[in-house]
Amino acid sequence: MSTLNTQLGVNFPKGFKSAGVYCGIKKPGLLDLALIVSDRLATVAGVFTTNQACAAPVRWSRKVVQGGQAWAIVANSGNANCLTGAQGERDAERMAQLVAQRLGCEPTQVAVASTGVIGVPLPMNAIEAGIAQLFERLSDGDDRATADAILTTDTFPKRASIEVSTPDGTVRIGAIAKGAGMIAPNMATMLAFITTDAEIPHAQLQPILARVVDATFNSITVDGDTSTNDSVIMLANGASGVRLSEASLGAFEEALYQVCEYLAKRIVRDGEGATKLFEVKVVGADSRESARKIARTIAESLLVKTAIHGGDPNWGRVIAAAGRAGVPIDVNQMALTMQGVRVFENGQPTQYDERDLIQRLQSDTVELLLELNQGDASATFWSSDLTAEYVKINAHYRT
Amino acid sequence: MSTLNTQLGVNFPKGFKSAGVYCGIKKPGLLDLALIVSDRLATVAGVFTTNQACAAPVRWSRKVVQGGQAWAIVANSGNANCLTGAQGERDAERMAQLVAQRLGCEPTQVAVASTGVIGVPLPMNAIEAGIAQLFERLSDGDDRATADAILTTDTFPKRASIEVSTPDGTVRIGAIAKGAGMIAPNMATMLAFITTDAEIPHAQLQPILARVVDATFNSITVDGDTSTNDSVIMLANGASGVRLSEASLGAFEEALYQVCEYLAKRIVRDGEGATKLFEVKVVGADSRESARKIARTIAESLLVKTAIHGGDPNWGRVIAAAGRAGVPIDVNQMALTMQGVRVFENGQPTQYDERDLIQRLQSDTVELLLELNQGDASATFWSSDLTAEYVKINAHYRT
């Protein structure tokens, strides 16, 4: 498999153009409207937030994904179009209509996403003018503006693309993402848009995307808050001329995983106020679900996140978080390794060198490995440290 | 019902003595060992952490509570005796034995609790000498030293007592508690010890205590981390000469609730780095369990906690937290009131006066009322705001 290109995203696969503009939702100078267009009708797949207070664009795009085919994705930042009542529903549909009119397709073939403050109606005049601008700027070259236009409090754009050799031929995958707080501030959301020039029907693409998202974007946490707007939307347009047979799906899924894992970690790395990324790997669980629950509880623990921030080898917090995950465990069977140092086994601490461990914990990437010795299942979560800066950012997001 | 006395705790009911001393676990000058003794064999009840990595003293005291009767509670702070292996089990039992020898009772009639750092063996020589000291200092007067000796990073002692008039006569309830981070730093724990001079059998006391703890100590959150050592232990010695009949149990439970609610709120108020207490009341739920899940998810949301800290009327975060609680909700039926101001109803924001609301949110006590309009069940949670100070305290707890 070829290496990841982190300087190009959704424009890398054949047959896709995109653009990003400022339309007037955010402060002048900040891009706030993005469009990704396929040159032909594409297969669409999507994974959305499970939050029941989900935003209007999420409800709209779920329907688009159910339809199975789409031409484009339009997304704005700075306003989540969430908890905006019936007007919000009409505005989400209107965004799709404005794009569909220009493409000459059905509105239900245009996915929509929004991220930003909630409870405020979208400035539809600004968006209408912005969509006209987007069509003037569509390009298949650099997609930095597209990646920038979906950001909120992110401090850097997130792009990745890869070429995949399969038995059926070479195809390409490209993606852009945004994260930041909740993952996302003020519900602002995790968004990822993925393109591929492979030809693959919805019935095959949807489960592949769901599995990959489960192990990547759904295995990260900044603050445990699930946004009302989280959306991962993927278009597969077949412009490569390569139709993926069963024999090629493994390599394709592997490459998609690589792209998504990279972007997921970039989101954690860019978590609000984050200075460190830490990986929580739980192995030897009796089921993947158990492993995920434990990994997630550790990854979300404020006490673990603050200890990681301080470089404090406070392993007891990790064991205690595992103990309250709601999964049967036996501490006497467990072993915990921090940054390669075994600190706990058989129900008690080992004789480790604390100064050495403190030294290792200064790294900006920290690995925790918890062995349960109960079975063969495992799971990995990625999380960011909790800092005073996070509090500062979120205490005054709107005011 | 008479008013709460917050200057006296476990010594208020008849027939109890207590003491607190420095034995050498914490820094000199800080009390770290406490003893509460009844002048006769008492009924004992208890509610303990559900954390599966629970500490040795928790396992010991569970057995004591199963026995139904006890003479005393011995507790140390500064060391949690948790994840300390077989030695930890022996040490917890030894603490009970040392007290039992002096009282001439069975070790299984002495409850034990510990709070502090984990994974470090208890200094048993210091504790043995400390227990001798405790017996010299036992007093039925001021119990400030007892209350102080169970604290860790708490910034003030927590005591409350009350006189209860019942159809059977007057009885007294007294209690001390500690909290702080997790609730409790480094697993340090929520502890509460309650005494009463009422005569009441274990079979009646245990369910009353369980219900009251559920609605008070189990309805508070500082950071969502459940400690390995959380324990609420209650002794009822009958020294009042009043045996509670069925007719008196309601007044008794109500008074116990009053004591525990006060102490639970004091714990939140003293949460690590906390500057505000906020109450989350969820009404109109289809079940109490649903109401509790939603109230807890809101109370634990970092985005809500930081918004409360900043006095930011970011109500969207409250609705979004409700949306991810795992309970069916209908945002179009919901209404949210912050500090008496209705901000959201029928799926969208109201036309509230934001400046007025920001003003109201400056208070050090904030009330959130979420109406679901689905049924008759309700639940209340109390939480603290999340501050940069919390991060500072917890990033370097051990180092």
- CB-CB neighbors (< 8 A) of A388 in chain B: 388, 391-392
Residues of A in contact with B121 (CB under 8 A): none
* Residue B59 distance to chain A (closest CA, Å): 14
**Which residues 201-230 of chain A have a CB within 8 Å of chain B?**
223-228
Q: Cβ of B187 and A311 within 8 Å?
A: no
Q: How far apart are CA A262 and CA A277, in angstroms?
A: 13
Distance from the A136 Cα atom to the nearest Cα atom in chain B, whole angstroms: 35
**CB proximity B355 to A under 8 Å:** no
Beta-strand relationship, A377-384 and A220-221: parallel
Which amino acid does the sequence have at A358? I
Tokens read off for B65:
């509570």
Catalytic-role residue among B43, B189, B195, B380: B189
Between the CA of residue B6 and those of A12, B175, B241, B260, what are the distances in Å?
68, 10, 25, 12
pLDDT at A187 over 50: no
How many Å lie between the alpha carbon of A353 and the closest alpha carbon of chain B? 14
Does pLDDT of A186 surpass 50?
Answer: no
Residue A208 has pLDDT above 90, yes or no: yes
Nearest chain A Cα distance for residue B254, angstroms = 30
Among B323, B273, B262, smallest CA distance to B298 is for B323
Q: Which residues of chain A lie closer than 8 angstroms to B119, CB-CB?
A: 315-316, 344, 348-349
Average pLDDT (A103-129) is: 95
Q: Which residue of B has its CA nearest to A321?
A: B225
Bridge-partner residues for A371, per DSSP?
A: A283, A335
Q: Is the pLDDT assigned to residue A40 strictly greater than 50?
A: yes
As a residue count, chain A comes to 399
Interatomic CA distance for residues B10 and B174, integer angstroms? 4
Residues from chain B contacting residue A224 (CB–CB below 8 Å):
300-302
Task: Note whether B358 contacts A: Cβ–Cβ < 8 A.
Answer: yes
Please report residues of A whose CB lies closer than 8 A to that of B301.
224-225
pLDDT score recorded for residue B223: 66
**Residue A271, pLDDT score:** 81
Size of interface A-B (CB pairs under 8 A): 220
Considering chain A, what is the average pLDDT of its residues? 92
Q: What is the pLDDT of residue A43?
A: 98
B290 within 8 A of B329, measured Cβ to Cβ: no
Catalytic residue (one of A43, A189, A221, A380): A189
Instruction: Select from A51, A319, A358 the Cβ nearest to the Cβ of B320.
Output: A51
Comparing alpha-carbon positions, the chain B residue that sits nearest to A387 is B391
pLDDT for A397 equals: 58
Interface contact B301, partner A, CB < 8 A? yes
Beta strands in chain B (DSSP E): 16-21, 33-48, 69-79, 110-117, 158-166, 169-178, 191-196, 220-221, 231-236, 277-285, 335-338, 341-345, 348-349, 365-371, 377-384
pLDDT at residue A59, as a whole number: 96
Most A CBs within 10 A among B48, B218, B225, hence the mutation to make, goes to: B225
Measured distance CA(A60)–CA(A51) in Å, rounded: 15
With a CB cutoff of 8 Å and minimum separation 6, the contacts of B182 are A303, A320, B188, B189, B190, B222, B223, B225, B226, B227
Distance from CA of B272 to the nearest CA of A (A): 11
pLDDT > 60? residue A154: yes
A384 or B197, greater pLDDT: B197
Q: What does the pLDDT profile of chain B (399 residues) look like in tens digits?
A: 578 999 999 999 999 999 999 999 999 989 999 999 999 999 999 999 888 888 999 999 999 999 999 999 999 999 999 999 999 999 999 999 999 999 999 999 999 999 988 889 999 999 999 999 999 999 999 999 999 999 988 889 999 999 999 999 999 999 999 986 554 333 346 899 999 999 999 999 999 999 999 999 999 877 666 678 889 999 999 999 999 999 999 999 999 999 999 999 999 888 878 899 999 999 999 999 999 999 999 998 888 998 999 998 889 889 989 998 989 999 999 999 999 999 999 988 999 999 999 999 999 999 999 999 999 999 999 999 988 887 787 776 554
Question: A378: closest CA among A294, A257, A304?
Answer: A294
Whether A248 has its CB under 8 Å from any CB of chain B: the answer is no
Q: Which residues of A touch B225 (CB under 8 A)?
A: 301-303, 317, 320-321, 324
How confident is the model over A223-242, as a mean pLDDT? 88
- A312, A347, A397 member nearest B85 (Cβ): A347
Whole-number pLDDT of residue A224? 62
Contact A323 B54 (CB under 8 A): yes
* Residue pair A62/A261 in contact by the 8 Å Cβ criterion: no
Residue A189 annotated to the active site: yes
AA letter at B54: C
Q: Quick check: B362 contacting A, CB < 8 Å?
A: no
- pLDDT at position A184 over 50: no
Per residue in A272-303, pLDDT (tens digit) is 788 999 999 999 999 999 999 999 999 988 88
Q: Which residue has the higher pLDDT, A2 or A247?
A: A247
* Chain A residues touching B300 at Cβ < 8 A: 224
Q: Would you call B391 and A309 a contact, using CB atoms and an 8 Å cutoff?
A: yes
Give all domains of chain A, ordered by start, each with its CATH number: 16-269 (3.60.70.12), 277-395 (3.10.20.340)
Chain B residue numbers with beta carbons less than 8 Å from the beta carbon of A309 are: 391, 395
- Identify which of B154, B152, B158, B156 has the alpha carbon closest to the alpha carbon of residue B194: B158
Shortest Cα distance from B209 to chain A (angstroms)? 22
pTM of the model: 0.85
